[in-house]
């Protein structure tokens, strides 16, 4: 029985894949709590595609592709912040506009590069099984930076995100804080993208946080549960992927989805089951 768990780990690529997936799972899930609560579910997708022009320009200028991706992601995150903070465009609309624009800009730039064997879009589809030691170090460092910043600015980000009136009363630099949050999300997405691919990042940013949101109403608990779910889904998903011989990223995403459905049905106070048993339903407590 124990062999089932140890056998895949005999391979270096599985160990590295497991570590990478768990770190990305935790990082994206924790950051994702803000994404879900602020209603920016498509931000991950948007930033994933926004890196394309950055990557293309970096390639043309023969610069480092990761740097190009990071710069592009941060610029787009700030642009989303800029359009939203003027107040006349909703965040999801800004994301939608910039998502399409950056993707097209990337394709436009790539279409002017005429060389063989150039498939820049492959950067969008990293594979967790190909994670290198450098990748692991990079994710570890960035995870620490992002998580520590989130922790340090915990109260400020909380107030700014959910109580604009209090934020104004406290004279918090709202725009600056929101921009910092967007940049943190952008960093998490770009680093994860390199290792696990766009599909996994987009899902990890939303699904574990949404699941945790069904189980608790307190942000710190939600972040803790989301991180644990992200890590657990990565581990279970990779094992299933190994034994069922199915692409790893897809299985990890589907595992998080199963978690979500379980919580959706059985969650205390919010799940379908609970509401059936407690008819008439309690007045749903609002955040």
Residue list 34-93, contact with other proteins (CB under 8 A): none
Closest separation between CB of residue 156 and other proteins, Å?
32
Q: Which is nearer to other proteins, 1 or 165 (CB)?
A: 1
Q: What is the DSSP letter of 86?
A: T
Secondary structure letter of residue 121 according to DSSP: G
Q: Given candidates 2, 244, 276, 283, which one binds other proteins under the rule CB under 8 A? A: 244
Tell me the backbone φ, ψ of residue 258, rounded to 5 degrees: -60, -45
Report the nearest approach of other proteins to the CB of residue 124 (Å): 10
- Residue among 115, 165, 280, 286 that touches other proteins (CB under 8 A): 115
Q: Report the b/e string of 45-74 with b at 16+ CB within 10 A.
A: bbbbbbbbbbbbbbbeeeeebbebbbbbbb
Could you tell me the smallest distance in angstroms from the CB atom of residue 72 to other proteins? 19
DSSP, residue by residue, 185-214: HHHHHHHHHHHH-HHHHHHHHHHHHHHHHH
Establish if 100 lies at the interface with other proteins (CB under 8 A): no
211 forms part of the interface with other proteins (CB under 8 A): no
The closest alpha carbon to 11, from 206, 239, 186, 189, belongs to 239
The residues in 214-243 that bind other proteins, with binding defined as CB under 8 A, are 215, 236, 238-243
Q: Which of 127, 149, 174, 275 binds other proteins (CB under 8 A)?
A: 127
Q: How far apart are CA 238 and CA 243, in angstroms?
A: 9
Near other proteins in 249-278, by CB under 8 A: 249-250, 255, 258, 262-263, 266-268, 271, 273
Residue 65 beta carbon to other proteins: minimum distance, rounded to whole angstroms: 13
| Residue with the two structure tokens 């062999």 | 3
- Residue 121 CA from chain centroid, whole number: 19
Nearest-approach distance from CB 219 to other proteins, in angstroms: 19
Shortest spacing between CB 234 and other proteins, in angstroms: 13
With DSSP H G I counted as helix, E B as strand and the rest as coil, what are the percentages for the chain, rounded to 5? 80, 0, 20
The CA-based diameter of the chain, rounded to the nearest angstrom, is: 66
**Contacting residue, 23, 131, 157, 204, with other proteins by CB under 8 A:** 131
Alpha helices in 38-121 (DSSP H): 43-60, 65-85, 91-112
Q: Which residues of the shown chain bind other proteins in the complex (CB under 8 A)?
A: 1, 4, 7-8, 11-14, 16-17, 107, 110-111, 113-119, 121-122, 125-127, 129-132, 215, 236, 238-250, 255, 258, 262-263, 266-268, 271, 273
């Amino acid at each position: 029985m124990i062999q089932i768990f140890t056998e895949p780990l005999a391979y270096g690529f599985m160990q590295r894949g497991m570590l990478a997936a768990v770190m990305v799972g935790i990082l994206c899930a924790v950051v994702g709590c803000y994404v879900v609560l602020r209603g920016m579910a498509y931000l991950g997708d948007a930033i994933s595609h926004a890196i394309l022009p950055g990557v293309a320009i970096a390639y043309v200028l023969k610069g480092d592709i990761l740097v190009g991706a990071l710069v592009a992601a941060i610029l787009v995150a700030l642009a989303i912040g800029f359009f939203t903070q003027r107040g006349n465009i909703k965040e999801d609309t800004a994301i939608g506009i910039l998502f399409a624009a950056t993707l097209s800009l990337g394709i436009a730039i790539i279409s002017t590069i005429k060389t063989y064997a150039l498939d820049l879009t492959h950067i969008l589809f990293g594979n967790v099984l190909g994670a290198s030691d450098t990748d692991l170090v990079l994710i570890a460092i960035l995870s620490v930076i992002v998580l520590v910043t989130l922790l340090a600015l915990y109260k400020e980000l909380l107030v700014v995100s959910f109580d604009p009136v209090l934020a104004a009363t406290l004279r918090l630099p709202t725009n600056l804080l929101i921009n910092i949050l967007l940049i943190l999300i952008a960093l998490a997405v770009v680093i994860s993208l390199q290792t696990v691919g766009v599909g996994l990042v987009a899902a990890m940013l939303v699904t574990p946080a949404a699941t945790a949101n069904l189980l608790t109403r307190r942000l710190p608990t939600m972040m803790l549960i989301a991180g644990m779910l992200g890590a657990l889904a990565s581990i279970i998903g990779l094992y299933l992927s190994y034994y069922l011989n199915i692409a790893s990223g897809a299985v990890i995403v589907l595992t998080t989805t199963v978690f979500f459905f379980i919580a959706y049905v059985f969650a205390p106070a919010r799940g379908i089951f609970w509401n059936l048993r407690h008819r008439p339903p309690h007045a749903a407590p609002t955040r």
